[in-house]
Amino acid sequence: MSYRLKPLNQQTVVITGASSGIGLATARRAAREGAKVVLVARNEDALREAAEDIEAAGGQAAWCAVDIADSAWPEKVGKVADDRFGGFDSWVNNAAASLYARLDEVTEEEHRRVFDVGYFGTVAGSLYAAKRLRERSGGALINTGSVLSERAVGVQGVYSAMKHAVKGFTDALRVELQEEDAGVSVTLIKPNGIDTPYPEHARNKMDRPASVPPVIYDPELAAKAICFACEHPRRELLVGGQGLLLTKAGNLFPGLTDLIMQNFMMEDGQSSDTPPEPGAEDNLFEPRKDGRVRSNQDNFVRKSSLALEAQMHPAVAIATGMGTIAAAGLIGALARSRRA
């Protein structure tokens, strides 16, 4: 399969969920690297401010305020991209909604809302983008999954199920587009816990403010992975070494991983003493105060991920690993020679 992906500074990139968190970080990073960006979310004021900030910094940005649960949203966004920039080259489905609650506490309406935004919104955006990118002789489609696409966690069961569905859909669509030789690269981004306003925006039925359990990573790492995928075909990119370990552990030792989840990843492991910023709480059905990339919690945040770098640059990682092994062997040989 051959893909013709342009350098990022020659692209127009559509990004959903762009009013905060990973989406906003990605829009800013792509614009800094020279891409034209189309920001998509519900919060019109936050989108306008973000686009104005990008343009004030020398970038090019447009915005489109839509509810991703509305099945007609992709056409509205496509029209903005066409009118402002003549189309798009990469499309990033990043929008999601969530809640912290045990499954028997979740109403059917809440359950459906999480899927309407995170899954059916991704499906509608993906199918529209794939059709348009075929017409443009290729491009990149990037869907944001999660480490929870691989390993479900209690208290976020509905979100975990939705991200499992996103992964299944993305994998199937990739196969179909490859079989057609459509020239559309399909990448699933799977972030570990990221320091975004996600726990503030999620509906919370716990007794304490919600949080993301550690290890927590910088949103810029997820943005870096997404921008990389706009230029380089990758099947998946997992952001954060802890997520990689959790995924492998769940595959090899599912029972033991369940036990760890039960003891360390329930309400106590996903709660905080820091309440949401006023006006930001619970955007499940309505947009709330927005515009921040990072959370309001005092977290220790990892700024780098060797696991991500190895996935983006496997040849360098292999060479570095071989070099490390060779150096260790040389040191060992010298030590033995000295002893002799």
Which residues does the annotation mark as catalytic?
A: 159
Which amino acid would we find at residue 239?
V
Residues 73, 66 contacting (CB under 8 angstroms): yes
CB-count exposure of residue 196 (10 Å: 0-12, 13-18, 19+): buried
* Direct distance between the N- and C-terminal alpha carbons of the chain, in angstroms, rounded to an integer: 55
DSSP 37-103: EEEEES-HHHHHHHHHHHHHTT-EEEEEE--TTSTTHHHHHHHHHHHHHSS-SEEEE-----EEB-G
Q: Name 149's Cβ contacts closer than 8 Å, sequence gap at least 6.
A: 163, 164, 166, 167, 188, 190
- The alpha helices in the chain, defined as continuous H runs, are 21-32, 44-56, 73-85, 108-115, 121-135, 157-180, 198-201, 219-231, 241-252, 254-264, 306-312, 314-339
**Tokens 């990758």 sit on residue:** 234
| CA–CA dist 270, 310 (Å, integer) | 29
> Residues 110, 164: contact at Cβ < 8 Å?
no
Count other Cβ atoms within 10 Å, centred on residue 222: 29
CA angle 311, 317, 319 (to 5 degrees): 150
> Residue type at 161?
A
14 alpha-carbon distance from chain centroid: 14
Q: Vertex 138, ends 81 and 166: CA angle to 5°?
A: 80
Which letter does DSSP use for residue 156 in this model?
Answer: B
CB 140 within 8 A of CB 89: yes
